[in-house]
A and B are shown apart, each in its own frame.
Chain A
Amino acid sequence: MTAPLLEVRNLRVEFPTRRGTLTALDDVSFEIAPGEVLGVVGESGAGKSMTGNAIIGLLEPPGRIAGGEILLEGRRIDNLAPEAMRKLRGRRIGAIFQDPLTSLNPLFTIGEQLVETIRTHLPLDAAAARARAIELLREVGISAPERRIDHYPHQFSGGMRQRVVIALALCAEPRLVIADEPTTALDVSIQAQIIALIKRLTREHGTAVMLVTHDMGVIAETADRVAVMYAGRLAEIGPVQRVIHDPQHPYTTGLMGSIPSVGSDLERLPQIEGSMPRLDAIPRGCAFNPRCPRAFDRCRAERPPLLQANGTLAACWLHDPHRRAAAAGPDWSEGAVHG
């Protein structure tokens, strides 16, 4: 395997509040290789967007990185000065956010916004930057870009706006793109077009992508590997096929089971009882233990690290090699989720 493009090691993000410090991200570690698409899934509040924001240095105060390190191409970026970080953002790391309307300035034409961004990061004159902007718009599938470049954001539909935002994120040829729910605000047919676009562009440019979404369908089609987050921690990380079809963490199993799909004819969807704990009430041990149908004493006392589990890494004591050796041949087929 080539050297990772992005390394996140033991990342910890804290929010000091009047009633004590909340830990929003707790010991999160993962890597993204060049050209790889890593999907990050989880329910709202699991910390998936927070991870993206921590990487691009856009944590909302009073949130701060309290531990761990983030490396881009082998160099630490979590301790950069704001000005250096600002240069890095856009040049080396591009960002695509959920709502294309709020990512664009309504008072400027998309051409002005693209040219400004291009010239901030690349040594091009106005004419060359405009030519590049038109080229980018064509690449993201906007027809008649020579004409459309002088239009304002409100003259574009939602799907077209998101294409413009993608063009903005890619204009300095970043090595890494962080896409935070890029298709959530869009209709399904447009969603499919945007997914195809992100896939094609990253393949052609060899860009690595961190794709944050709550939509497993989008992950399944786009990502190479997937990280499942729960209560600010990584529950499971592994190749997308393995995680979807043979999840090893009981939370992932429950999450996959609860997704309605057109192919199934179940009377009731399998459901996970309860809801994710709040940041101020994360239980001791494994954060998932109160909802886990397979929890045992150790889960309530000791937090599990990521353990090797049948091709993926899962933060679950079920995969502790000592336990497996002790309980020879455990019955893995037992129902992992309440029916």
Chain B
Amino acid sequence: MAEPLLEVRDLARYFDVSPPWLNRVVERMPRQILKAVDGVSFSIARGETLALVGESGCGKSTVARVICGLYEPTRGSIVFDGRDLAAIADRREMLRMRQRFQMIFQDPYASLNPRWSVARIVAEPMRSHGLVESSREMRQRVEKLLTDVGLAPADADKYPHEFSGGQRQRISIARALSSNPEFLVLDEPTSALDVSVQAQILNLMRDLQREHGLTFLFISHNLAVVSHISTSVGVMYLGRIAEIAPTRLLFERPLHPYTRMLESAIPDISMSGKSRTPVAGEVPNPLDPPAGCTFHPRCPFAREKCHIEAPPLLPYEGARVACHGIHEGWVPIHVHPGALAAD
């Protein structure tokens, strides 16, 4: 495996969601800490795509935001291209570092300023990082970027409301690319789009990745999309990684019971007519997660140990999984060879 471009070690982010001070004193309400991300480690090699999947509230978007610097980490380190981001004290060096990261958000309606022209939106990262000398050069670059993402150069003078959802997402991508980043964090970039538009955007992401040698962290709840775009997949549950493996392996040999549950829950057009057993239960309240393995209340294999001791994420034949049963051999493993084979 190539050297990692991004390495995240034991990353955690807690949010203080306590009631106001007065209520805590008068009503004796305790402090409440939401552990949105609690000890997540992974690395992404240059040119690869790691997808983080999970249900709402599992902490996947928080991971994305911490990496992009939108939240400070509570604990842990983020190492980008061999440099620990927390250790960079010089502001200018930090800016140069940040320029190599960009983020694309889910909602293309909320992430573009409606009062700015497309040219201004796309040029903003170049301007704030001081990447271009003249306005003519900037204009040329904006037009080139718009062409790269499948829009017309003349679209630069239009405003966001003149575009459809898919076209807006293309504008977001052009903006993200304008600072020449190496690493893109994509937070549910296609969830707000129709399937046919989603296909266009996913294909565009792949083309851009190849042309620009980009590395992606792809956040999604959609396993089918993830199986299509990523080289490896991390499955998150209540702020931790349950299982992380190369994409093909994850779909052919899902280890963690939660991974299996997610896979069997995807409505699939090829399943037509067949019925499947839906999984019982819901994600527990993250403010009051279960003790031990947080998945044990929903897990069909849970034993005494799972109620008490949280399983660490340990290697298992090409993957890493946090499950006592897998490592101790009392959870049966099913292999579906060819689950990802070509049609």
A interface residues with partner B (beta carbon < 8 Å)? 43-44, 157, 159-160, 187-193, 195-196, 199, 214-221, 240-241, 244-245, 254-272, 275
Among A160, A219, A268, point to the contact of B206 (Cβ < 8 A).
A268
CB distance from A197 to the nearest CB of B (A): 9
In the bound complex, residues from chain B placing their C-beta under 8 Å from that of A218 are 267
Contacts A43-B195, A192-B265, A258-B198 known; A220 to B272 CB distance under 8 Å?
yes
Query: A260 — which chain B residues lie within 8 A by C-beta?
Result: 198-199, 202, 222, 224-225, 227-228
Chain B residues near A189: list those with CB within 8 A. Answer: 55, 261-262, 265, 278-279, 282
When distances are taken between beta carbons in the complex, the residues of chain B under 8 Å from A240 are 272-273
- A262-B339, A265-B342, A271-B200 known; A191 and B265 CB under 8 Å? yes
- Residue ID in chain B nearest A272 by CB atoms: B196
Instruction: Find chain B residues with CB under 8 A from A196 CB.
Output: 275, 278
Q: Is B195 touching A214 in the complex (CB atoms < 8 A)?
A: yes
| Chain B residues within an 8 Å CB radius of A261 | 224, 227, 268-270
Asked if A262 and B199 sit within 8 Å, CB to CB, the answer is no
A-B contact pairs, 5 of them (CB 8 A): A187-B55, A192-B276, A221-B272, A245-B272, A269-B228
Q: In the docked arrangement, what's the CA distance between A191 and B167, Å?
A: 29
Contact A275 B197 (CB under 8 A): yes
CA distance A187 to B55 in the complex (A): 6
Nearest residue, chain B, Cβ from A197: B278
Residues of A within 8 A of B275 (CB): 196, 199, 221
Residues on B with C-beta less than 8 A from A268 are 203, 206
Known A262-B224, A263-B270, A269-B199; further 4 A-B contacts with Cβ < 8 A: A188-B265, A192-B264, A271-B203, A272-B196
Please measure, in the bound complex, the distance between the C-alpha atom of A245 and the C-alpha atom of B55, giving whole angstroms.
29
Contact of A263 among B225, B262, B279, B339 (CB under 8 A): B339
* B 214-232 to A, binary, CB cutoff 8 A, 1 in contact else 0: 0000000111110110000
Whether the Cβ atoms of B196 and A258 lie closer than 8 Å is yes
Complex Cα distance, B225 from A269, in Å, reads: 10
Find out whether the CB atom of A193 lies under 8 angstroms from the CB atom of B279: yes
- If A192-B279, A271-B196, A275-B166 touch, whether A262 touches B268 (CB-CB below 8 Å) is yes
Check if A263 sits within 8 Å of B282, measured CB to CB: no
Residues of B within 8 A of A220 (CB): 267-273
Q: Which residues of B contact A255 (CB under 8 A)?
A: 195-196
Q: Are A244 and B196 in contact (CB under 8 A)?
A: no
Q: How far is the CA of A286 from the CA of B251 in the complex (A)?
A: 41
Flag whether B288 is at the interface (Cβ < 8 A).
no
B147 contacts the other chain (Cβ, under 8 Å)? Answer: no
Q: Which of A160, A265, A267, A275 contacts B164 (CB 8 A)?
A: A275
Do A263 and B221 have beta carbons less than 8 Å apart? no
B269: A residues at CB distance < 8 A = 216-217, 219-220, 244, 256, 259, 261
Q: What is the chain A residue whose CB lies nearest that of B298?
A: A189
Q: Are B342 and A266 in contact (CB under 8 A)?
A: yes
Q: Which of B199, B200, B228, B343 has the most CB of A within 10 A?
A: B199
The answer to whether B88 has its CB under 8 Å from any CB of chain A is no
Task: State which of B200, B264, B266, B278 has its C-beta within 8 Å of the C-beta of A193.
Answer: B278
Return chain A residues, CB-CB under 8 Å to B124: none
- Which residues of B lie under 8 Å from residue A265 when comparing CB positions? 340-343
The closest CB in chain B to the CB of A213 belongs to B267
Q: Is the CB of A259 within 8 A of B224?
A: yes
Cα separation A271 to B201 with both chains bound (whole Å): 10
CA distance A189 to B261 in the complex (A): 8
Most buried by A among B228, B261, B272: B272
- Decide yes or no whether B194 CB sits under 8 A from chain A: yes
Question: Which of A193, A254, A266 lies in contact with B228, CB distance below 8 A?
Answer: A266
A264 to B265, CA, bound (A): 17
With CB as the reference atom, state the residue of chain B lying closest to A218: B267
> Are A191 and B267 in touch, CB under 8 angstroms?
yes
Complex: chain A residue closest to B264, CB-CB: A192
- What is the distance, in angstroms, from B272's C-beta to the closest C-beta of chain A? 4
A262/B283 in contact, CB under 8 A: no
- Cα(A195)–Cα(B266), bound, Å: 11
Q: In the complex, what's the smallest C-beta–C-beta distance from B275 to chain A, in angstroms?
A: 7
Within B17-56, which residues are at the interface with A (CB < 8 Å)? 55-56
User: Which residues in chain B, 201-247, are within 8 Å of chain A measured between CB atoms?
Assistant: 202-203, 206, 221-225, 227-228
Complexed CA–CA distance, A272 and B194 (Å): 12
The residue in A216, A219, A220, A261 that gathers the most chain B C-beta atoms within 10 A of its C-beta is: A261
Assess the A241–B195 pair: CB atoms within 8 A: no
Tell me which residues across on chain B come within 8 A of A221, comparing CB atoms.
267, 271-276
Chain A to chain B: the 9 pairs with minimum beta-carbon distance, closest first: A217-B267, A258-B199, A192-B278, A43-B194, A220-B272, A187-B55, A269-B199, A260-B228, A271-B199
Residues of chain B within 8 A of A254, CB atoms compared: 196
Contacts of A272 in B (CB 8 A): 196, 199
When distances are taken between beta carbons in the complex, the residues of chain A under 8 Å from B343 are 263-266
Q: Does B263 contact A (CB under 8 A)?
A: yes
Contacts of B273 in A (CB 8 A): 220-221, 240-241
Rounded to whole Å, the gap between the CB of A41 and the closest CB of chain B is: 9
A160 to B281 CA separation, bound complex (whole angstroms): 10
Query: CA–CA, A256 to B268, complex, Å?
Result: 11
Query: In the complex, what distance in Å separates the CA atom of A245 from the CA atom of B270?
Result: 8
Contact residues, B299-314 vs A (CB, 8 A): none
Closest to B194 in A: A43
